[in-house]
Amino acid sequence: MKYVIVGAVAGGASAAARLRRLDEKAEIILFEKGEYISYANCGLPYYIGNVIKKRDALFVQTANAFNKRFNIDVRVKTEVIAIHPETKTVIVKNQNTQEEYQESYDKLILSPGAEPIKPPLPGITHEGIFTLRNVNDTDYIKSFVQQSNVKRAVVIGAGFIGLEMAENLHHIGLNVSIIEMAKQVLAPVDYTIAAILQKHIRSKGVNLLLNVAVTSFEKTNSGIKVNLNNGEFIETDLVILSIGVKPDSHLATAAGLKIGATKGIWVNEYLQTSNPDIYAVGDAIEFPHPISKQATITYLAGPANKQGRICANNIVLGNKHKYNGSINTAIVKVFDLTVATTGIASKHLKILNIKHLTSITHSGSHAGYYPGANQMTIQLAYSPENGKILGTQIIGVSGVDKRIDVFASAIKNNHSIYELTEFEHAYAPPFSSAKDPVNIAAFAAENVLTEKARLVNWDEFQNLQADTYILDVRTEAETSTGIIPKSINIPIDELRKRINEIPKNKKILIYCAAGLRGYLAQRILLQNDYKLVFNLSGGYQTWLVCTEEENYLKKNKIETV
């Protein structure tokens, strides 16, 4: 049996190694149009920022080592330029010699990845304007920074890679600006999480411009002029284009393979294309999202590696191993904060008309009495019908990674809020609390589902009716740092003896610092014949950061969310 694989990074290399483990006798050829195979794409920004010191650390495998370990014919700088399914052959071009030749296959795996979006803006080809997708891009950027006396950098796009690049350029001493066409950073997360991150980014001295687009670039004597659609411009020495990527499906298209609604290569549940002898994996494929059931693409290394393994299983052992899709679990470090997401954000659930509820909790990364605890914010989206978890977002200094993995596992296995109330975690003061942040988030959601609590979000709290009674149950000392306008302060510990001060003929909106005391006050009032009692989700802390961010954007004439 002869297997040919196109693309040798995450999905392709994973498939090749698995094929060899399953079939020692097969002939396996791995084509890679670039110079390197199986390298750490996700580590590239950190090498530019000198966090990863040694370039060689980026390479999981070299072509020579891969060949020795797995007895696989690895051909780098060799591009597959055409596929002929009818003859089961590919046309290959050696980029060193420009020679073209034909190679046959019994089974073909496509893992071409994605290609960066580079809009046809005037001046976009000027020196000093880069995309970051591979090792060569990294080398060009690092060399340019070192040799051209770069002091200023502009990153266009505030997605995961854009923010990582901004941090790492800042880390090597550059004056960094981020330009984002959307109204917030990190499109996969909701505004409540993005607002915290945006404030943090600005606190580091990074110039963050939102809801503005680049119209053109001009080369000047002092560098590069980046022109914006609001009439303003930024002068810089270096531009990183991090606008996004798109599936590299041109080979599949030319070969007559089915292309999906998202322009990705269509595959069935076994990662088989519309041609039974051709499979596909990685950033180029389209599959049904496990939650929305709509066609989607994921540009993540984790799913690509797993797809490579599944694909090889199905080729050698027969189509038995189903790929169940990706819920786009992702995490990013941005200066001192970590942001993670899994499932679908509330704003996207609304667009998809998927009914859901949300709740926000603030918890310590570990026991508060043990030194070094930091607060994390967790936002859940869940079904009002059965409590099934639809999405989770977390932001904090530490402990974010292990909590998002718990929620990702729960979503992938169709678990509900109720099951996470009993989630059993490893507990000792340096690592967690007796009630982990996962439990706390689940408790808050369960209280809503069982009608023990009624929540309002910060933006709903903004548009209060004139006859609403706003109750602040924090301590008097806490109110000195700020209050929600028109609120009345009755500390939670005084509430029972002062309950008669609260009118029963009005809607009662309660808030505390983070939500817990507000919930306790809500339970007291509901059991004393108060009917319309609501608690501010995430408390004053969430309200403050979101309203401050909103006011900042308005002040700077940026349309708010």
The catalytic site residues sit at: 42
The percent of the chain in helix, strand and coil, each rounded to the nearest 5, is 30, 25, 40
Q: 224 and 126 in contact (C-beta within 8 Å)?
A: yes
Question: Measuring CA to CA, how many Å separate 181 from each of 236, 385, 558?
Answer: 18, 36, 11
CA neighbor of 420 nearest in space, from 431, 433, 430, 435: 435
* End-to-end CA gap in the chain: 56
Q: 32 and 75 in contact (C-beta within 8 Å)?
A: yes
For residue 68, give the H/E element and its range.
helix 63-70
Q: 313 and 272 in contact (C-beta within 8 Å)?
A: no
Q: 252 and 263 in contact (C-beta within 8 Å)?
A: no
Question: Measuring CA to CA, how many Å separate 262 from each of 73, 246, 258, 273, 288?
Answer: 33, 9, 12, 15, 11
Q: How far apart are CA 541 and CA 458, in angstroms?
A: 10
Biggest CA-to-CA distance, the chain: 89
Tokens 């693409």 correspond to 297
Strand, helix or coil at 511?
A: strand
Q: 75 and 96 in contact (C-beta within 8 Å)?
A: no
Residues 6+ apart with CB under 8 A from 308: 10, 11, 12, 13, 14, 15, 16, 18, 109, 111, 281, 282
Q: How far apart are CA 49 and CA 164, in angstroms?
A: 9
Strand, helix or coil at 156?
A: strand
Tokens 């108060």 correspond to 530
For residue 304, give the H/E element and its range.
helix 301-317
DSSP-assigned beta bridge partners for residue 28: 3
What does the DSSP assignment read for 142-169? HHHHHHTT--EEEEE--SHHHHHHHHHH
Q: How far apart are CA 309 and CA 19, in angstroms?
A: 8
CA neighbor of 145 nearest in space, from 124, 173, 119: 173
Residues 6+ apart with CB under 8 A from 82: 90, 91, 251, 254, 255
